[in-house]
């Protein structure tokens, strides 16, 4: 049996970093972790190939080679999925589909022969058994959330590693919180299920053996969902592994804001090699936080929490939302102030959307306010909800936020403010700085490109030179970070250029 695993193309988005990746000659930020994990679950006797359309084109010869195509995708890839499925049908290749997009909305797709939905550890074995018996069913689904003990390490050998800026690893599934706008609990449940420390190290070993060095993103929706196990077993094991291998990876992940309450945990994360964390901050409006059940963010000084995390050497990337029913016109300026004051460089502000599977989707559908399906792109100026404040007011306010944080002047000011206060705790300097320098030295040749693209051609060139000279004379140790953030700003301005 010959299995072709296909990951459809992503559109240009905030998180694609498409314009930034060109400076380091990479094709995509992250690999299709789900597909290379599923590949490891397929029979060892099968021939397997993977085509990630984000790093190489899907050609007819690939489809002619395959007996079955396995496709996985997220909501934002909907259009690409339909195009790929149509090509498979035209070539007479059978299609097996799974992953988040199909699990929540498989009825929208024609031409798929077999839907294998939910978590593959449960449904894929049933499909493979039926396929072996020559009577596979059209639909396999489950409401089970399995333990992760049997989840194998991904087949990294299927990837063209050098075309990616970062690799990925999953430690846990599920989230203990239940934010109304989020579909994670419907996909993975509220009980946090984790891999063992041995499993995590085995995946790191396999990735190291494959030759990867550099960024490694822990894709968990909330890495700190089980703090006790993390501090007692997993982080100590990672710390030992990283020390033994001379810190070949630079780690980042996603976590809830209550990370700021646990200083020992933050210290351990930095010792383990983490230098960044994405945090869902959402809004400074307490009423909106209550409305969406973002209880972990309520009654907090959000700026102080962010700065505390930053103070431990972790760069905070933040998610923000406008368009809650409780939002008033004042929220737009409040969001700008929150982002500028907290000095979050990578601040993804999006309009409130209701993904299928979320409690918000059910509520607005019952209220007759559901307009369409969510695009999966939170920054494309679209919402699938009829907003209380009115579409025109929401769109105008959203444009004001984008201009207020990503126009050259406020963006570069935020970068300078962040770097001015940036420091690594003394206890962590011995292992932190070599790791950081090693990451950026691999991309050192991107710097000359910035001199031309950002220093000459870009409309923000004066801000770029101002940042470069300021860093060179005031914070020379932060010069690689200054250049990196300047590249990020270029990407963000490209994504939002219509609004800016």
**What tokens does 58 get?**
């899907």
Distance of alpha carbon 440 from alpha carbon 155, whole angstroms: 27
- Mind listing the pLDDT tens digit for each residue in 301-331? 999 999 999 999 999 999 999 999 999 999 9
pLDDT-based confidence at residue 498 (cuts at 50, 70, 90): confident
Kindly report the backbone phi and psi dihedral angles of residue 441, in degrees, each rounded to the nearest multiple of 5, phi listed first.
-65, -30
Strand order in the sheet with 166-169: 166-169, 214-218, 249-255, 274-282, 315-322, 347-351
- Mind listing the pLDDT tens digit for each residue in 184-221? 999 999 999 999 999 999 999 999 999 999 999 999 99
pLDDT at 500: 80
> Given phi > 0 = left and psi -120 to 50 = alpha, else beta, which region is 220?
beta
- Mind listing the pLDDT tens digit for each residue in 250-271? 999 999 999 999 999 999 999 9
The topology under which CATH files domain 2-140 is: Rossmann fold (3.40.50)
| pLDDT surpasses 60 at 44 | yes
| pLDDT surpasses 50 at 438 | no
Q: Dihedral of the CA atoms 373, 376, 382, 383 (nearest 10)?
A: 50
Helix, strand counts (H, E) of the chain: 21, 14
Taking the chain, what is the end-to-end CA distance rounded to the nearest angstrom?
51
Q: Is 133 helix (H, G, I), strand (E, B) or coil?
A: coil
Q: Is 307 helix (H, G, I), strand (E, B) or coil?
A: helix
CATH superfamily, region 165-406? Aldolase class I (3.20.20.70)
Percent of the chain with pLDDT over 90: 94
Kindly report the backbone phi and psi dihedral angles of residue 47, in degrees, each rounded to the nearest multiple of 5, phi listed first.
-85, 140
In our burial notation (b when 16+ CB lie closer than 10 A, e otherwise), range 32-50 reads bbbbbbbbbebeeeeebeb
Q: Which residue intervals of 263-390 are DSSP H helices?
A: 263-272, 286-291, 302-311, 331-342, 359-366
| pLDDT surpasses 70 at 31 | yes
> Measuring CA to CA, which residue among 402, 405, 353, 348 is closest to residue 382?
353
- Residue 130's Cβ-count burial label (10 Å; 0-12, 13-18, 19+) is middle
pLDDT at 425: 54
In our burial notation (b when 16+ CB lie closer than 10 A, e otherwise), range 434-456 reads ebbeebbeebeebbeebeebbbe
Distance of alpha carbon 338 from alpha carbon 423, whole angstroms: 21
Domain with CATH 3.40.50.280 in the chain: 2-140
pLDDT at 43: 98
- Mind listing the pLDDT tens digit for each residue in 335-389? 999 999 999 999 999 999 999 999 999 999 999 999 999 999 989 999 999 999 9
pLDDT at 424: 66
Distance of alpha carbon 290 from alpha carbon 274, whole angstroms: 31
Q: Which residue has the higher pLDDT, 405 or 500?
A: 405
What would you measure as the largest C-alpha separation in the chain, in angstroms? 70
Domain with CATH 3.20.20.70 in the chain: 165-406
- Mind listing the pLDDT tens digit for each residue in 76-118? 999 999 999 999 999 999 999 999 999 999 999 999 999 999 9
> How does the average pLDDT of the chain come out, rounded?
94
Name the β-bridge partners of 7. Answer: 52
Please give the helix or strand (H or E) that residue 229 lies within, else none: helix 227-229
| pLDDT surpasses 70 at 429 | no
Q: pTM here?
A: 0.95
pLDDT at 330: 97
> Measuring CA to CA, which residue among 3, 35, 28, 30 is closest to residue 154?
35
């Amino acid at each position: 049996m010959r299995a072709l695993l296909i990951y459809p193309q992503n559109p240009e988005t905030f998180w694609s970093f498409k314009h930034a990746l060109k400076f380091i000659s990479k094709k995509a930020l992250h690999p299709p972790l789900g597909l290379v994990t599923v590949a490891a679950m397929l029979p060892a006797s099968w021939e397997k190939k993977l085509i990630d359309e984000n790093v190489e084109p899907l050609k007819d010869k690939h489809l002619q080679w395959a007996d079955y195509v396995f496709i996985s995708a997220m909501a934002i890839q909907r259009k690409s999925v339909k195009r790929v499925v149509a090509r498979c049908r035209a070539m007479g290749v059978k299609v097996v589909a799974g992953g988040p997009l199909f699990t929540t909305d498989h009825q929208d797709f024609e031409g798929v022969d077999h839907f294998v939905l939910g978590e593959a550890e449960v449904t894929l074995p049933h499909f493979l058994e039926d396929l072996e018996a020559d009577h596979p069913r059209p639909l396999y689904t489950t409401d089970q959330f399995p333990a992760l003990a049997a989840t194998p390490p991904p087949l990294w050998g299927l990837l063209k590693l050098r075309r990616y800026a970062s690799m990925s690893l999953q430690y846990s599934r599920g989230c203990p919180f239940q934010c109304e706008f989020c579909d994670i609990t419907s996909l993975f449940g509220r009980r946090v299920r984790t891999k063992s420390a041995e499993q995590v190290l085995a995946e790191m070993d396999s990735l190291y053996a494959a030759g990867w060095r550099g960024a490694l993103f822990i894709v968990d929706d909330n890495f700190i969902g089980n703090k006790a196990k993390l501090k007692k077993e997993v982080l100590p094991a990672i710390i030992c592994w990283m020390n033994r291998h001379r810190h070949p990876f630079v780690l980042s992940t996603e976590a809830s804001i209550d990370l700021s309450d646990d200083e020992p945990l933050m210290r351990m994360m930095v010792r383990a090699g983490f230098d960044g964390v994405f945090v869902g901050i959402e809004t400074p409006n307490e009423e909106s936080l209550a409305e969406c059940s973002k209880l972990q963010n309520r009654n907090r000084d959000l700026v102080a929490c962010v700065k505390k995390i930053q103070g431990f050497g972790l760069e905070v990337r933040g998610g923000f939302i406008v368009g809650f029913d409780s939002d008033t016109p004042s929220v737009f300026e409040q969001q700008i102030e929150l982002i500028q004051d907290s000095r979050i460089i990578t601040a993804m502000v999006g309009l409130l959307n209701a993904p299928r599977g979320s409690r918000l989707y059910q509520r607005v559908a019952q209220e007759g306010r559901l307009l369409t399906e969510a695009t999966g792109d939170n920054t494309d100026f679209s919402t699938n909800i009829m907003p209380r404040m009115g579409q025109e007011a929401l769109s105008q306010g959203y444009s004001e936020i984008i201009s207020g944080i990503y126009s050259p002047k406020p963006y570069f000011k935020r970068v300078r403010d962040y770097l001015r206060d940036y420091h690594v705790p003394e206890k962590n300097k011995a292992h932190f700085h070599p790791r950081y320098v090693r990451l950026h030295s691999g991309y050192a040749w991107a710097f000359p490109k910035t001199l031309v693209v950002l220093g000459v051609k870009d409309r923000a060139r004066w801000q770029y030179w101002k940042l470069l000279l300021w860093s060179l004379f005031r914070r020379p140790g932060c010069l690689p970070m200054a250049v990196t953030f300047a590249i990020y700003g270029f990407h963000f301005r490209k994504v939002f250029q219509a609004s800016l």
